[in-house]
Structure 1
Amino acid sequence: MFSLDSKMTWKRSTLGGVLFVALACLSYLLGTMYVVTPWFPLMLVRPAWYRWVVDHLVAWYWIFLVALLEMVYGIKVRITGDSIKPGERTLLIMNHRTRLDWMFLWMYLIRRGQLSKEKIILKNELRKIPGAGWGLETACFLFITRRWEEDEKIMKKILDYLSSIGHRTQLLLFPEGTDFTERTRQRSDAYAEKNNLPKYDYVLHPRTKGFVYIAEKLIKEHNLDAIHDITVGYPNGKAQTEADLLAGRFPEEVHFHVRRHPLNTLPNTSGKLEQWCTTLWAQKELQLKEFYQRKKFPDTNVLEGGTPGDPLQELKMKVVLWLSIPFFLTVILVVPYLMVTSTYFFISAVLICAFYIAQRAVYGGAEHFQIDLYNTFHRK
């Protein structure tokens, strides 16, 4: 009979890692095909309703991953600092310690934010992940190419669309542009030496051009209530890349410290916004230095172990997490069975795949397809 420790060891092995990745990929692929895609016609009739429905269905998938990470794989979360107010339009800026920080951030948003409102600025390469890329596109995430002339147009197009339908977006941006590794740290050091700046040990020097553009655009169009500065730290192990997940190298804990900066406290010029972001990152360097010495952030408005202070809220959250597991396990087991045994499901799978492949070839991705249809038929 396995002890608790032996069970956890099994989950943190290659077998456990492969199982997690398989569940994540299959649930996202099949969920996108058969839970999200059927709602596409609503986009032609009520675009705002479509966005609401799809955002909540996508958030249901994020909840499933959080349930796996916390309840199955035993990852603990510790949150300190501020919350996101209900319905608040915010720009979330976070240090990029690993390539998977965005996934662990859902542990924060499910407790102190609004998971269904999150949009993430991602590298364009991620849209090419089989199946999962379709889901990210359908969620209307912002894929950037790192060529400013193209990225500016992409960000303007998607932010204008979200604003036009009244979406109260919580937009996640990593100003560093990439995750913290030895190679990226050396590049950051070279930049610091060239520009007479301090060298950092825990963060990379932020790339402020995109941050300033987004912040100014949101402020100018009255689509921003606050900026939330998020610092993430991993006191005991981390998953730097997807390969670490496959190998079962999950972090034991993830810590978040969040500071809310209301709109009326933000700088009002491009130069001041750039300096403000640069100063935040200098503070973040000191904050993380202390964090890795103490193995936790200062005790400010603590949510220890991810447990809400309100017992009823804690119960609701656990129920939602647990319900997501049988739902997606059912999708993973039933849909492939129906594809094999039902001609209708097999044909529908072929048509759905062809649909996503075609819209990427013609429009550049599902997010552009949605926005182009909206601009053609609904935007005034």
Structure 2
Amino acid sequence: MAVSVRGLFFIMALFLGSFFGSIVMLGPVLPLMLLSPAWYRWLTDRIVATWLTLPVSLLELVFGVKVVITGDGFIPGERSVIIMNHRTRLDWMFLWCCLLRYSYLRLEKICLKAALKALPGFGWAMQVACFVFIQRRWEMDKAHLENMLDYFCDIREPLQLLLFPEGTDLTENTKAKSDAFAAQNNLPKMEYVLHPRSTGFTFIVDKLRKGDNLDAVHDITVAYPKNIPQTERHLVLGEFPREIHFHVRRYPVSLLPSSSTELESWCRERWAEKESRLRDFYSGQPRGFDRDGVARVPPCKSELRVGLIKAASLVYWSGFIAFCFAGLWLWPSFRLYVLVMTVVFTVQQKLAGGLELIEMACHRYWKEKVQERKIQ
């Protein structure tokens, strides 16, 4: 199959935006991390959020992707854990279309594979954004998760943490493994979702709840009624989803089970509901979660405001990328700066493991200093 010009344009626009954005927009504020991690987090979350609007703008304005959102919606600014079925490898990016309307992109953090942090541009920005990188081995991930969640609770910055309890996207291979897991544990086989692994979910909810940093759990079901772009390769080939449907269920923290065992059962119940909901979705005509296609809770932004944000994003990032190329062409000092920052981003990840780890180390340092002053 031939590579699509549309697909290459999309991938290159996102890469160049993340690469130059990391160097030009995020690079100058890195020293703030050493002085005040909390203020650094406040500022960089907002800078990164400007880039998160770019894929939304491209998908909807340039490639005509239709987004339908039904269900409960979000309360703007609330702290939550977002759990979602993992239909494709790209669900996390498509979710930004929903969050732009119903929440604030600056609040979102994602649990994702540790290997992604090494990607130039994308990985650098995700490190600065303090995304949660995991090895997908619980004995290694537990301590890291605990440290990051403690940090988020300490700085009191509102957080919406996205995780995929299934652990991977739905394919023939992963479905076979899920079916084997179901057979071993006397669970029913599922067609539209994978059986969730709830250890990480229960740990995160318990930790945030104890840290008084959780208002709700948002259970989101995503579906693609017309075509399913399973991987990044499909985007390169120009196979963008024609429609993306999100169904949101909001569960206040006061209604969640108190024990880990009950929380695991609660998570499995949500996945059984997803299986039924998706079966109805794909068997119905027209395909949709609610036939009227209307969310019970209105978005926190009007479609006019969302449209203006998307248009402004396209204009800004087009101009910004053009400016950076002009700078590389015209100014030797700019070329030197880009080279130096590229080395900084690359070397720190090799030596320290990532900017999010340096940020937490700075926070621990200042926290200990404050405690020492109190003792004196």
1:274-317, Cα deviation, whole Å (9 max, x unpaired): 1110111111101100011121002578159xxx789x822222
Cα offsets for 1:43-75 (capped at 9, x unmatched): 233332221211111111111110100000000
Which residue number in structure 2 is paired with residue 350 of structure 1? 339
Provide the rounded CA distance (Å) in 2 between the counterparts of 1:300 and 1:140: 38
Separation (CA, whole Å) in 2 of partners of 1:95 and 1:159 = 22
Give 2:260's aligned residue: 270
Relative distance call for 1:309 and 1:38 in structure 2 (3 A) is closer
> Residue 373 of structure 2 aligns with which residue?
none
Query: Helix, strand or coil: the match of 1:77?
Result: strand
Q: Residue 302 of structure 2: SS of its match in structure 1?
A: helix
Structure 1 unmatched ranges of 5 or more: 1-11
Paired residue for 2:156? 166
| SS of equivalent to 1:267 | coil
Counterpart for residue 26 of structure 2: 36
Aligned to 1:376: 365
Structure 1 residue 228 displacement after superposition: 0.5
Report whether the alignment pairs 1:363 with 2:355. Answer: no
After TM superposition, list the pairs within 5 Å mapping 1:256-267 onto structure 2.
256-267=246-257
Change (3 A) 1:309 1:373: closer
CA distance in 2, matches of 1:299, 1:119: 31
Question: Quick check: 2:69–2:247 contact (8 Å CA) kept in 1?
Answer: yes
Indicate the SS of the match to 1:325: helix
Displacement, 1:371?
Answer: 1.5
Following the alignment from structure 1 to structure 2, what is the Cα–Cα distance between the partners of residues 336 and 68?
A: 20
Query: Match of 1:297?
Result: 289
Structure 2 match to 1:112: 102
Q: CA RMSD in A?
A: 1.8
Tell me if structure 2 keeps the 8 A contact 1:81–1:300.
no
Secondary structure at the aligned position of 1:84 is classed as coil
SS, match of residue 297 in structure 1: coil
Match of 1:255, SS state, is: strand
| Residue aligned with 1:85, SS | coil
User: 1:47 and 1:376 mapped to 2: Cα distance?
Assistant: 10
2:183 aligns with one of 193, 202, 212: 193
State how far apart, in whole Å, the 1-side matches of 2:178 and 2:38 are: 41
Q: Corresponding residue for 1:5?
A: none
Q: Which amino acid aligns with 1:254?
A: I
Amino acid at match of 2:67: V
Match of residue 9 from structure 1: none
The answer on whether the counterparts of 1:80 and 1:299 sit within 8 Å (CA) in structure 2 is no
The whole-number CA distance in structure 2 between the counterparts of 1:166 and 1:269 is: 24
SS of structure 2 residue aligned to 1:203: coil
Structure 2 stretches lacking a partner, 5+ long: 371-376
Q: Residues 7 and 238 of structure 2 are in contact (CA less than 8 Å); yes or no, is this contact kept in structure 1?
A: yes
Query: Match for 1:321 among 303, 310, 314?
Result: 310
Which of 191, 194, 198 is the aligned partner of 1:204? 194
**1:220 Cα deviation from its structure 2 partner:** 1.5
Distance (Å, rounded) in 2 between the aligned partners of 1:314 and 1:282: 33
TM-score, normalised by the number of residues in structure 1: 0.92
What is the CA distance between 1:42 and its match in structure 2?
2.4
The letter for the 2-side match of 1:323 is A
- Pick from 50, 69, 78 the counterpart of residue 79 of structure 1: 69
The answer as to whether partners of 1:81 and 1:301 remain within 8 angstroms in 2 is no
Cα distance in 2, alignment partners of residues 83 and 36 from structure 1 = 31
Q: Distance in 2 between matches of 1:99 and 1:213?
A: 24
How far, CA to CA, are the matches of 1:155 and 1:299 in structure 2?
Answer: 39
| Aligned amino acid, residue 302 of structure 1 | V
Question: Hey, what does 2:229 align to over in structure 1?
Answer: 239
- Report the more deviating stretch, 212-221 or 135-144: 212-221
Deviation at 1:94, TM superposition (A): 0.3
Instruction: In structure 2, give the amino acid aligned to 1:76.
Output: K
- The one of 15, 28, 34 equivalent to 2:5 is 15
Match of 2:119 in 1: 129
Residue number in structure 2 paired with 1:3: none
* Residue of structure 1 aligned with 2:56, choices 66, 73, 81: 66
TM-aligned CA deviation for residue 338 of structure 1: 1.2
Partner Cα separation in structure 1 for residue 125 and residue 186 of structure 2: 43
Aligned-pair CA distance for 1:368: 0.7
Aligned length in residues: 365
Asked whether the equivalents of residues 117 and 169 of structure 1 are also in contact (C-alpha less than 8 Å), the reply is yes
Q: Which residue of 2 aligns with 1:102?
A: 92
Q: Percent identity?
A: 44
Distance 1:185 1:59 in 2: 34
Q: Does 1:56 align with 2:34?
A: no
SS at match of 2:212: coil
